[in-house]
Structure 1
């Protein structure tokens, strides 16, 4: 970790780690310090622009909740953009985090979507109701263990090439790529080859 990354990580507490890549500083914090980390980003680092919040289901680890915030610094040369990704992990059996709406009001919509798609509960959220799915929908479709209804009703057809599955069926027709002339009609082997498939 570079000196800059170490200094930034120290602002988020002793258990935080930081890594910089592709003009993005990523800081991992424990779930217990999630709100403190967001306040630190806003108040100490000037990240007043809330961009997005979402989660990733990592089997065997939990749900990694990510928030992307930005600091815009104006100078005589223009506006400099500093991007920060804050991440924390909550376990699959207790996916709970406090809401960030008090710190970043724009987080409300994103937390609703993350709750709906992954089942992460944001305690203290003022209106944690379905956002995209119907009220009668059961489950959380972006979890890795969610079974797609289409896969239950019909087996996935792309497991093998046509003609290779146990169901038989015709093989895929051989074709020339678009724009490629029949070598039997054009070129040095004209008239010497069997005709190309139509």
Structure 2
């Protein structure tokens, strides 16, 4: 059967919605077909196993979270300082907030990774690759901090997004102010 990349992406997007709305236990081939509005069996034709489906969702999440090259290029002329780094973090949070299904699906996959070694391997490899790409970009750009500081920012942004998307604490601190505090405190 010839593969249609548009349909594959649409099925993966539907899988992301199902995962975000129903959790990992609700993620079935039938649920993906229903969410995509495709005939029963379509998802299993594209993703024969649940592990194949999850792998496709991880890949699609990565695609949907990739920064806009024009946004990155627009910052090339700015000095690589704390303010620029804070703007990159704000862009990460903006992308995660603008597409809550993707963020929630990613959190669901991370929880499921604690229970299923195959998901841990797939998701862990993707996260590690993305982290190393972040470290390389950071170094190539001359931004302040190194690998340890970037890891701390990943931990901080993950917690910020989990709080923001679920049951937020009422601290009076805006997301933007939290990012400014992260930068000031981690990049001392």
Q: TM-score, normalised by structure 2?
A: 0.30
Q: TM-score, normalised by structure 1?
A: 0.29
- In proportion to residue count, which structure has more helix? 2
- In proportion to residue count, which structure has more strand? 1
